[in-house]
Structure 1
Amino acid sequence: MARPRKVLIIDDDFTVVDYVSELLANWGYECAASGTGADGIEKFADGGFDLVLLDVMLSDTDGVTLCRRLKSAMRERQVPIIVMSSLSDPPPIQDARMFGAADYIRKPFDEKQFKAKIEKALDRA
């Protein structure tokens, strides 16, 4: 039996974290969450993640910088990153894609679209 895919959620809005964690659990994913970029880097370094869901605006850093740091921390195995944002201004999203994000989704998001983006990112990995 294959192990469930493991997703790291990095978002300082715990309402979003709870909602996304519940969705992912219902879809068969295992989740871990971080409320800050520093904690997210630490958890990511512990390894084993198949996907990272990253908010653009965090209390201690921005998602673009964190995306770059996560990508540089990856060795042999590239883990896809999906950037999440409630911003209507696209530049942070474009910046994140320049630094290696696989995709982005705007909050609040459509559950079907969100699931499709997750599956697509994991299929490409």
Structure 2
Amino acid sequence: MRMMRAYSDVYLGDVVENQGKLFDYVANTYPDKDTEDFINAYMTSKTRQSIDQAKAYVNTMDAKELWEYFKETEHYSLKQGKAMEGFIPNWIGEFYAYYQWYYNIPSAEVNQKILDK
């Protein structure tokens, strides 16, 4: 028996790649802002929930479109702090997206599992 995934694997590659690029974009574009706070806010947001629910409009956005949509939808502004460096933001973004899809759990729950560790 095949496990039910969060959404069609047709979207998977793009969602995983775009979330990695989104986290990387924020970290590299705003080196004096708290990347970790952004990731926590994003993973528990309505924007990410729309992706969890396979809403095509959001699932097909690229990283910069997602960033703009997230800021507008969530009324989010970055907090002062230190950005993550190197490949870490991209890796976290891709890992979180794949984990959410594979286990078919809400992104907010993925985030909480990580924070609880």
Fold shared per TM-score above 0.5: no
Structure of higher RCO (CA pairs closer than 8 Å, 6+ residues apart): 2
Higher helix share: 2
Higher strand share: 1
